[in-house]
Homo-oligomer: A and B are copies of this chain.
């Protein structure tokens, strides 16, 4: 079933204790759509500048991403430069150049207007709202965000929260948004703002999903060889919604499975710089990773409740 993803398509310069890449392919839309492409053919909406290499676009297309929604604008592409510390959970942003993003006004191609699954990856919430306005056929909408938007575009973000089905945040963003250190309370407070589900990304500690009916927790894949965590959250989200869109399902049991798919694609993403791992990992690699997650979390509770 049709999945539309809006997000950034960008140059990333990334330094980690394990190496450095310069002006590599990056962006929330890029990582999310490459991950989603394991289970469906995502329609990617974004903008790049005149400096963006055709080979990066070709790579997305070759991995099954529908690239007709990528706008080519005058000017330079979005650029991000970050550095990770020895503790790879900690990173510093050295440079952010919005460039063509500053004037981006997403207009969906006519073919995209019937999109049923919508992922608003991390980008200005005002742009996320513009996409919601153009997707009346949506049956499942999900938005990601970041601390920057909580700080500077809070009103637009609150509108997004009222309009989407699922909101994704990391743990520190949830605490920041609600002003409470307790993650469970923060998630409940965010649910009250409108979305039907809140998904908290906790990095090495896994993910949690909250609805009015249930709380669900899934540990992360135990990864020793993290080389570059850039894009892991976007790959998680893309794998999650790509799986749901591919099957056209939205029930709780499939959402839980989809969180495992997202966890698998996120862990693959961390194993190499930029989008390198997505060039080599096929769907079987994702399935193998999911099998490892299943094995690493399996408990047979039945004997605890026996006669």
Interface residues of A (CB under 8 A from B): 86-89, 181-185, 188, 202, 204-206, 208, 214-220, 222-224, 226, 253, 256-257, 259-261, 287, 290-291, 294-301, 303-305
Q: Is the CB of B226 within 8 A of A182?
A: yes
Q: Is the CB of A206 within 8 A of B214?
A: no
Q: How far is the CA of A226 from the CA of B303 in the complex (A)?
A: 29
Q: How far is the CA of A261 from the CA of B301 in the complex (A)?
A: 10
Given contacts A224-B182, A296-B215, A296-B216, A257 and B202 within 8 Å (CB-CB): no
Given A86-B181, A182-B226, A214-B295, 14 more pairs with CB closer than 8 A: A183-B204, A205-B205, A206-B206, A214-B296, A217-B219, A218-B219, A219-B219, A253-B300, A256-B299, A257-B303, A260-B299, A290-B301, A291-B305, A297-B299
Q: How far is the CA of A185 from the CA of B224 in the complex (A)?
A: 6
Q: How far is the CA of A256 from the CA of B219 in the complex (A)?
A: 14
Q: How far is the CA of A259 from the CA of B217 in the complex (A)?
A: 15
Q: Which 9 A-B pairs have the closest CB atoms?
A: A217-B219, A87-B181, A205-B205, A184-B224, A294-B301, A215-B222, A256-B299, A184-B222, A215-B296
B residues in contact with A188, CB < 8 Å? 224
Q: Is the CB of A290 within 8 A of B261?
A: no
B residues in contact with A215, CB < 8 Å? 222, 296
In-complex Cβ contact of A222 among B217, B256, B304, B305 (8 A) = B217
B residues in contact with A184, CB < 8 Å? 222-224
B residues in contact with A205, CB < 8 Å? 202, 205-206
Minimum C-beta distance from A283 to chain B (A): 11
B residues in contact with A290, CB < 8 Å? 301, 304-305
